[in-house]
Chain A
Amino acid sequence: MQDIDIKSIPRVEEITALHGAFAGTPVKDAETFNERMHSKNRVVASIEEAIRLSGLRDGMTVSFHHHFRNGDFIVNMVLDEIARLGIKNLTLAASSLTDIHEPLIGHIKNGVVTHIETSGLRGKLAEAISRGLMDFPVVFRSHGGRAAAIESGEVHIDVAFLGAPSCDPYGNANGYNRDEENSTSCGSLGYAKLDALMADKTVVITDHLVRFPNAPFGIPESNVDYVVKVDCIGDPKGIMSGATRYTKNPKELLIAKTTADVIEASGYFYDGFSMQMGSGGASLATARFLREKMIASNYRARFALGGITGQIVEMHEEGLIDKILDVQSFDLIAANSLKNNRFHQQIDASYYASYRNRGAAVNQLDFVVLSALEIDTDFNVNVLTGSDGVIRGAIGGHPDTAAGASLAVVVAPLTRGRIPSIVRRVNTIVTPGSVVDVVVTDQGVAVNPARPDVKEKLEAAGIPVTSIEKLRERCERIVGIPEPIKYKDRIVGISMYRDNTVIDLIRQIDEG
């Protein structure tokens, strides 16, 4: 080898990434690729070891995704290990939490978790928090708001623990398994992708360790530090249903039909439109009526966004929707489509909805159909707290899609049992009325006065439009005005708008 005098290179001190003269290579690895996969990889023996290796300490932030919904074993499994290791005072930044995460109550009581960031809470955990379980209020962020906060570094994830239905020994992870048909499946890993990218350390926890490369992948190995194989990541029944069925509830069908008529008349139904359908019977069923209209008009949608269901997949497969952008798959048909359909694209939370991202897909929506627990006469929407003031829902992408879409249609039955849906003031503002354009109920359609153009179009199409005040009056005539909910002064939750400004406060309920 030739002697190289590094110092003889002109301006050598200005050349970066120059590590001296070549000094030979280590001994070449002669194992087969297959052997190497087993001997040199990112797999660690247990969750406990992954926690130790990640350097997790008191006061840090851990993150989780909610793609396993109510079948998720990851959060409880990991927190049990963390608690055993004696680590305390953690911030838990989950993309969402639900009924199955009830054991968190114990981890909050023993000081393992002292702060929670999430899109939503349900079940016993939500009830305990509404009753003042935590000193530090829970921060509720929309999917887009969370993505923006993580991207900007304002919410800094120290360690992300991400469950995946399949992963190879280097960390290429997927929400389904290409090697086995009958394994757990959650489809898109949209909310996990950004966590993997931004966390200091990322641990993928899987029940199916598959051969390298697990491609095409949802999470690339470059964003993963450790891989743990466990027996079970979740309960498939709770993770997703086989197929989301269309509702047979006549009232939901009526709302859906009216919603489709509203969209058709609104000016945002044309050849090449874009759409998102929220979860919930009526919003999902709207797709069915739109499908009929699309066939009749010979229209195609350029893309469908969002939580994706089998209905959207069927429309894609019959050529009515060109592309699917999928941040979260709602049923097995959607998960399988993500695996098999070329133009069914997995996207991350920032791509989906971050306000910091000019190209966010929500900004390209013509219309979105969203459900609501309550809507007030200023068109503000609540999807987070129930009529008893208890937290029982999730912000999800509600404010992101409402703000991004040119036409945000919010659907709700006028009353649910004895509970009014149209009220003077919602319990908790999640989506401000300024981004809600039309409210469709079973007993009338109201258009936000800020959108006289839409009102005019609906009326021209023969759709009777009433005012939100009239809907509220009708509501009150039927079920009366409920007594106000009693709260204490203590703040238990903060409702953040998608730009991470505080839009409302949730207080401890007063049951005294």
Chain B
Amino acid sequence: MKLRRSMLFVPGNNPGMVRDAHIYGSDSIMFDLEDSVSINEKDSARFLVYSALTKLSYGSKELVVRINDLGSGLGIHDLEAVVRAQPDVIRLPKTESAKDVLECEAEIERIERAAGIPVGKTRMMAAIESALGVLNAKEIAFSSKRLIGIALGAEDYVTDLKTTRSDGTELFFARCMILNAARAAGIDALDTVYSDVNNEEGFLAEAELIHKLGFNGKSVINPRQIPPLHRVFTPRQKDLEKARAVIEASEEAERRGSGVVALNGKMIDKPVVARAHYLVQLAAAANRTPIEEV
């Protein structure tokens, strides 16, 4: 299972940040061509991200590009460039319906064929940023096999709701909708950014909340947010020990050729075993230093 605790937002028009995005230890890097890039820099950002993806190496990081929405007229140019650079994932902004996803997917498929890239190689994620999108979360989550996850984009969403960001109450419904839709479809649920970079306490509280709800992770806008976020996602020793015992029991069952896993006399379901593997994976990631040979 791919870890997506943290997705670092990197403005696509900032060469220094694009160049060094992998050094901070986030699980994913999201090069942004959309809201962090002003209208007169859209083409240079597109070119910079294309060049970075094709020339630099980012080690084991999952590489995501957030394109402009197709309706803006910019999105298609973004796709023409970045699909050819073969990032892992294209992030679609402002998704309101399954149709938005399918339209984008069709373009991606066309470009994949034209560029000789295996069809389906480019994965997608959809960001939901409006009341309509939240209500359609289920159809969005189920719309395409390419989807690795759906994400909440809170800034536009609270504007649409005619409110502002506060303690998270305003996002509770959207978060639950997105989380449930994602889980029903068997994909990841990813939380929005916390933009008050200097409020470490507020960030931590939000990270703990979304971790408790069940999100896979969260977008971050500053590398300083990555270590505290990863700490929140680090399993407690007690849970880890239990997870290891579950894995041992499941391996034991496999050796015996038995489909039934039992631990301390109790039956263990498959999802519990999967969850145990996930926890062990989280613990291993927590101990890794961000430095990797690239």
Interface flag for A376 (CB, 8 Å): no
B287 and A478 form a contact (CB under 8 A):
no
**B19, B20, B290, B293 — most chain A CB neighbours (10 Å):** B20
Q: How far is it, in angstroms, between the C-alpha of A470 and the C-alpha of B294 when the chains are bound?
A: 10
Which of B19, B57, B287, B290 touches A254 (beta carbons < 8 Å)? Answer: B290
Given contacts A250-B224, A478-B56, contact A466 B293 (CB under 8 A): yes
Q: How far is it, in angstroms, between the C-alpha of A261 and the C-alpha of B290 when the chains are bound?
A: 12
- Residues 430-469 of chain A, each 1 if its beta carbon lies under 8 Å from chain B, else 0: 0000000000001111000000000000000011101000
Interface flag for B292 (CB, 8 Å): yes
A258 and B224 form a contact (CB under 8 A):
no
Chain B residue at minimal CB-CB distance from A464: B291
Q: How far is it, in angstroms, between the C-alpha of A236 and the C-alpha of B28 when the chains are bound?
A: 47
Which of B20, B289, B290 touches A462 (beta carbons < 8 Å)? Answer: B289
CB distance from B215 to the nearest CB of A (A): 23
Interface flag for A288 (CB, 8 Å): no
Interface flag for B24 (CB, 8 Å): yes
A258 and B19 form a contact (CB under 8 A):
no
Interface flag for B223 (CB, 8 Å): yes
B224 and A248 form a contact (CB under 8 A):
yes
B223 and A254 form a contact (CB under 8 A):
yes
B287 and A462 form a contact (CB under 8 A):
yes
CB distance from A214 to the nearest CB of B (A): 43
Given contacts A442-B20, A442-B23, contact A258 B291 (CB under 8 A): yes
Q: How far is it, in angstroms, between the C-alpha of A464 and the C-alpha of B289 when the chains are bound?
A: 8
Given contacts A248-B224, A253-B224, A466-B293, contact A443 B19 (CB under 8 A): no
CB distance from A417 to the nearest CB of B (A): 7
Residues of A contacting B20 in the complex (Cβ-Cβ under 8 angstroms): 251, 442-443
**A251, A445, A466, A474 — most chain B CB neighbours (10 Å):** A251
Interface size for A (C-beta < 8 A) is: 21
Chain B residue at minimal CB-CB distance from A444: B291
Interface flag for B143 (CB, 8 Å): no
Chain A residue at minimal CB-CB distance from B23: A442
Q: How far is it, in angstroms, between the C-alpha of A248 and the C-alpha of B57 when the chains are bound?
A: 26
Residues of A contacting B292 in the complex (Cβ-Cβ under 8 angstroms): 464
Given contacts A464-B293, A470-B293, contact A443 B23 (CB under 8 A): yes
Residues of B contacting A251 in the complex (Cβ-Cβ under 8 angstroms): 20, 23, 223
Interface flag for B222 (CB, 8 Å): yes
Residues of A contacting B23 in the complex (Cβ-Cβ under 8 angstroms): 251, 254, 442-443
Which of A417, A443, A463, A464 touches B16 (beta carbons < 8 Å)? Answer: A417
Q: How far is it, in angstroms, between the C-alpha of A442 and the C-alpha of B223 when the chains are bound?
A: 13
Q: Which A residues, 245 to 301, have Cβ-Cβ distances below 8 Å to chain B? A: 248, 250-251, 253-254, 258, 261
Residues of A contacting B222 in the complex (Cβ-Cβ under 8 angstroms): 250
Residues of B contacting A254 in the complex (Cβ-Cβ under 8 angstroms): 23-24, 223, 290
Q: How far is it, in angstroms, between the C-alpha of A313 and the C-alpha of B293 when the chains are bound?
A: 37
Interface size for B (C-beta < 8 A) is: 17
Chain A residue at minimal CB-CB distance from B25: A254
Residues of A contacting B16 in the complex (Cβ-Cβ under 8 angstroms): 417
Q: How far is it, in angstroms, between the C-alpha of A167 and the C-alpha of B8 when the chains are bound?
A: 56
A258 and B289 form a contact (CB under 8 A):
yes
Chain B residue at minimal CB-CB distance from A248: B224
B291 and A443 form a contact (CB under 8 A):
yes
**A254, A258, A462 — most chain B CB neighbours (10 Å):** A254
Q: How far is it, in angstroms, between the C-alpha of A258 and the C-alpha of B23 when the chains are bound?
A: 11
Residues of B contacting A248 in the complex (Cβ-Cβ under 8 angstroms): 224
Q: How far is it, in angstroms, between the C-alpha of A251 and the C-alpha of B226 when the chains are bound?
A: 13
CB distance from B48 to the nearest CB of A (A): 14
Q: How far is it, in angstroms, between the C-alpha of A466 and the C-alpha of B287 when the chains are bound?
A: 19
Q: Which A residues, 459 to 494, have Cβ-Cβ distances below 8 Å to chain B? A: 462-464, 466, 470, 474, 477-478
- Residues 1-34 of chain B, each 1 if its beta carbon lies under 8 Å from chain A, else 0: 0000000000000001001100110000000000
Residues of B contacting A445 in the complex (Cβ-Cβ under 8 angstroms): 291
Q: How far is it, in angstroms, between the C-alpha of A417 and the C-alpha of B294 when the chains are bound?
A: 19
- Residues 224-251 of chain A, each 1 if its beta carbon lies under 8 Å from chain B, else 0: 0000000000000000000000001011
Residues of A contacting B291 in the complex (Cβ-Cβ under 8 angstroms): 258, 443-445, 463-464
Residues of A contacting B287 in the complex (Cβ-Cβ under 8 angstroms): 462
Residues of B contacting A464 in the complex (Cβ-Cβ under 8 angstroms): 289, 291-293
Q: How far is it, in angstroms, between the C-alpha of A240 and the C-alpha of B287 when the chains are bound?
A: 40
Q: How far is it, in angstroms, between the C-alpha of A443 and the C-alpha of B57 when the chains are bound?
A: 12
Q: How far is it, in angstroms, between the C-alpha of A258 and the C-alpha of B288 when the chains are bound?
A: 12
- Residues 237-254 of chain B, each 1 if its beta carbon lies under 8 Å from chain A, else 0: 000000000000000000
Chain B residue at minimal CB-CB distance from A479: B19
Q: How far is it, in angstroms, between the C-alpha of A253 and the C-alpha of B222 when the chains are bound?
A: 12
Residues of A contacting B289 in the complex (Cβ-Cβ under 8 angstroms): 258, 261, 462-464
A444 and B224 form a contact (CB under 8 A):
no
Given contacts A248-B224, A250-B223, A261-B289, contact A474 B24 (CB under 8 A): no
B293 and A250 form a contact (CB under 8 A):
no
Residues of B contacting A417 in the complex (Cβ-Cβ under 8 angstroms): 16
Q: How far is it, in angstroms, between the C-alpha of A442 and the C-alpha of B291 when the chains are bound?
A: 8
Q: How far is it, in angstroms, between the C-alpha of A145 and the C-alpha of B293 when the chains are bound?
A: 39
CB distance from B64 to the nearest CB of A (A): 19
Q: How far is it, in angstroms, between the C-alpha of A248 and the C-alpha of B290 when the chains are bound?
A: 18
CB distance from B227 to the nearest CB of A (A): 8
CB distance from B71 to the nearest CB of A (A): 34
Chain B residue at minimal CB-CB distance from A250: B223
Chain B residue at minimal CB-CB distance from A465: B291
Q: Which B residues, 29 to 57, have Cβ-Cβ distances below 8 Å to chain A? A: 56-57
CB distance from B165 to the nearest CB of A (A): 23
Q: How far is it, in angstroms, between the C-alpha of A251 and the C-alpha of B22 when the chains are bound?
A: 11
- List 8 tightest A-B contacts by C-beta distance, closest first: A250-B223, A442-B23, A250-B224, A464-B291, A443-B23, A444-B291, A478-B19, A466-B293
**Apart from A443-B294, A462-B289, A464-B289, what 17 extra A-B contacts exist at CB < 8 Å?**
A250-B222, A250-B223, A250-B224, A251-B20, A251-B23, A251-B223, A253-B224, A254-B223, A258-B289, A258-B291, A442-B23, A443-B23, A464-B293, A466-B293, A474-B294, A477-B56, A477-B57
Write 19 A-B pairs (CB below 8 A) sorted by A numbering: A250-B24, A250-B222, A250-B224, A251-B223, A254-B23, A254-B24, A254-B290, A258-B289, A261-B289, A415-B19, A443-B291, A462-B287, A463-B291, A464-B291, A464-B292, A470-B293, A474-B294, A477-B56, A477-B57
- Taking Cβ atoms with an 8 Å cutoff, the residues of B that contact A are 16, 19-20, 23-24, 56-57, 222-224, 287, 289-294
- Taking Cβ atoms with an 8 Å cutoff, the residues of A that contact B are 248, 250-251, 253-254, 258, 261, 415, 417, 442-445, 462-464, 466, 470, 474, 477-478
